[in-house]
């Protein structure tokens, strides 16, 4: 079976992890925590970075640091993994779902503007599947309304929007280091920001609400959202290799894109000319939604793992009643017609990608 995604450890991961075990620094203290934060902040060109246990907890901390709560509304895209909506709800605020742009697959600025109310406090912008959202109009709307902007960069580390690094454009940005992300710590996340007050509040909230000056004195109702030193060690080693990881992944994306070019039955995911996306998952969109599940079943029969596109958030049980599905035509169309193909960084030398593409195209050639 060719898996959908496997992590790749070819650098110092084992050596740094062995140091954690041999020195006993295996929990949420140890030198790699600070080193990983500092190295990540340098790469992003931001002054502050705070490691967390996941991108989901990073999003929750970002919302809490901005004091989002009951009575507030926060805008987020309808086609995203459900975590942003859930974390908005966890604060007591109301997630306001909006449709997506058909090219970037990020928030449609026109839909964002239409969703504003006097209670809107913030927006979570997801840079979906490695492609930046169209940030300039989103930021302009946010400035007009005095809204805070949280960037979800789980799938797009190092992507550029009009020459600027995504994650550095809003008030805070959150990253994922889950096993299937471009770089991984197994589980894990990060929040970056420019504001020293936000940085301090994030650190207090992350560590049980404990004072930074005096241990076991709790100044806020907080959480245990810490990363372990072992995870940070792996993250530091992965970060050292991130340029080479991107290079290998870009080569993979180019192979896929070439094979699916100008095919009326299937399209490689689109990209706007105003950005430099990064390659996360090999995502394709079919001409007909009824083809998706049979194609996935055929791939499985050929020992190739595929995944359907995530479902729109408005279809999830907690959000169904509050959202008219007719408000999300682009989100629904892309969700029902798209799937992901194997995308591991170490995916062969092109022969495996060729086999995957041959399997897909031969099946599609039999469709009328």
Give the residue numbers marked as catalytic.
Answer: 181
Number of helical (H) and strand (E) elements in the chain, helices listed first = 13, 14
Question: Contact, 75 vs 112, CB < 8 A?
Answer: yes
Report the half-sphere exposure of 302 (CA within 13 A, side-chain side): 19
**Cα–Cα separations (whole angstroms), residue 247 to 13, 241, 252, 351:** 19, 10, 9, 18
Query: Given strand 164-165, what is the order of strands in its sheet?
Result: 164-165, 160-161, 275-276
What three-state secondary structure class fits 287?
Answer: coil
**Cα–Cα separations (whole angstroms), residue 62 to 77, 84, 145, 174, 203:** 17, 11, 19, 8, 11
Q: Find, among 126, 226, 132, 152, the residue nearest to 185 by Cα.
A: 226
């Amino acid at each position: 079976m060719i898996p959908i995604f496997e992590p790749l450890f070819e650098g110092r991961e084992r050596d740094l992890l062995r140091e954690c075990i041999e020195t006993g620094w295996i929990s949420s203290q140890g030198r790699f925590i600070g080193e990983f934060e500092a190295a990540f902040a340098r790469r992003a060109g931001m002054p502050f970075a705070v490691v967390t246990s996941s991108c989901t907890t990073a999003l929750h901390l970002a919302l809490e640091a901005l004091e989002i709560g009951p009575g507030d509304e926060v805008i987020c895209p309808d086609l995203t993994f459900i975590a942003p909506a859930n974390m908005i709800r966890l604060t007591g605020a109301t997630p306001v779902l909006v449709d997506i742009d058909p090219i970037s697959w990020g928030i449609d600025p026109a839909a964002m503007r239409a969703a504003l109310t006097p209670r809107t406090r913030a927006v979570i912008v997801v840079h979906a599947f490695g492609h930046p959202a169209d940030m300039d109009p989103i930021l302009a709307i946010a400035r007009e309304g005095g809204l805070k902007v949280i960037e979800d960069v789980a799938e797009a580390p190092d992507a550029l929007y009009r020459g600027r690094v995504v994650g550095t454009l809003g008030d805070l940005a959150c990253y994922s280091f889950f096993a299937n992300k471009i770089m991984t710590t197994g589980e894990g996340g990060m929040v970056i920001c420019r504001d020293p007050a936000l940085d301090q509040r994030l650190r207090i909230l992350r560590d049980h609400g404990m004072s930074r000056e005096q241990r076991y004195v709790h100044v806020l109702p907080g959480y245990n959202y810490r990363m372990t030193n072992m995870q940070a060690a792996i993250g530091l080693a992965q970060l050292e290799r991130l340029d080479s990881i991107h290079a290998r992944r870009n080569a993979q994306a180019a192979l896929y894109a070439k094979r699916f070019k100008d095919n009326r039955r299937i399209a490689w995911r689109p990209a706007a000319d105003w950005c430099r996306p990064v390659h996360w998952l090999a995502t394709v969109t079919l001409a007909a939604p009824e083809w998706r599940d049979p194609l996935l079943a055929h791939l499985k029969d050929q020992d190739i793992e595929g995944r359907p596109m995530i479902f729109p958030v408005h279809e999830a049980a907690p959000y169904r009643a509050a959202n008219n599905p007719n408000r999300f035509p682009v989100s629904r169309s892309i969700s029902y017609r798209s799937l992901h193909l194997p995308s591991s960084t170490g995916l062969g030398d092109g022969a495996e990608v060729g086999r995957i593409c041959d399997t897909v195209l031969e099946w599609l050639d039999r469709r009328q």
